[in-house]
Chain A
Amino acid sequence: MALRRRGATEFHGYEIAKRLADAADARLLTAYGTLYRALGRLEKMGLLRSRWEHPEIPARENRPGRRLYELTALGEAAADRARKQAAARAPARTRRRLAPA
């Protein structure tokens, strides 16, 4: 969701790991096995779709090719639901914190 807010529609694995670590204020990125297993499952569930970038791009930039992930319509709906649930929980938490003991 944070990557979407930046206007990007496709993300590669390292970018996702980096964003997750930034959001959690963690120094260590998500482990390779954990990250790519989760992405594979989300793809199998139909929430993500992936494609390999055109081979000319990595060849020009002298780096390995990236697998790019994109949210599907189902994924967009799930992300929206999660966003709304998080927003609904946030004020309740704030109310609890501010309530006198």
Chain B
Amino acid sequence: MTRRFVTIGIRIVRAWTRLYTAGMDPLLRDARRAEIDSDLWELDADARRRGESDALIAIHILARMLLGVPDDFSWRAEQAAADRTSLRRSIWFAATASFVGVAALWFLVWSRTPSWPPLPASPPIVWQTTPPPPPPPRPPSMVR
């Protein structure tokens, strides 16, 4: 069950890496993606060898990604500075990257939140109307 979290964590890191390397020089891009892939595999294999729980592995994977986001931005900006034509791509990247960062943070919180039991069925709603009270009798001075 929790193995699913490790798989999701790895997918999020891969997606993030694909995103921040999008539109770069293919040599640089492919090298970074392959290096992160290798690191993810090594971390997972090493943690399992040491008997770490899958939930902890998933959290470790995501924490390493989130803590490295500022450096990913800087690295991307350094590459963009070297290549002026990729400026527009970098702006697009910054906007999309922020969205992915928030989504990853949401996943991290969601994976740590216990699932709530289903709510009980709501009681049936019955509308009750009462007739208005009768008008008061006329005052005695007006009776002739």
**Residues of A participating in the B interface, judged by any CB pair closer than 8 Å:** 12-15, 17-18, 28-37, 40, 52, 63-67
Contacts and interface: CB of A to CB of B under 8 A. Distances in A.
B38 A12 contact: yes
Is chain B's binding surface mostly helix, strand, loop or mixed?
helix
Contacts of B31: 67
A28 B13 contact: no
Interface residues of B, number: 28
A34 B67 contact: yes
Given A14-B43, A64-B37, 5 more contacts: A29-B60, A33-B69, A33-B71, A65-B34, A67-B38
29 contacts: A12-B38, A13-B35, A13-B39, A14-B38, A14-B42, A15-B42, A28-B64, A29-B60, A29-B64, A31-B64, A31-B65, A31-B68, A31-B71, A32-B13, A32-B17, A32-B39, A32-B65, A33-B68, A35-B68, A36-B36, A37-B75, A52-B34, A63-B41, A63-B42, A63-B45, A64-B37, A64-B38, A64-B41, A65-B34
B70 interface: yes
A33 B37 CA distance: 13
B34 A32 contact: no
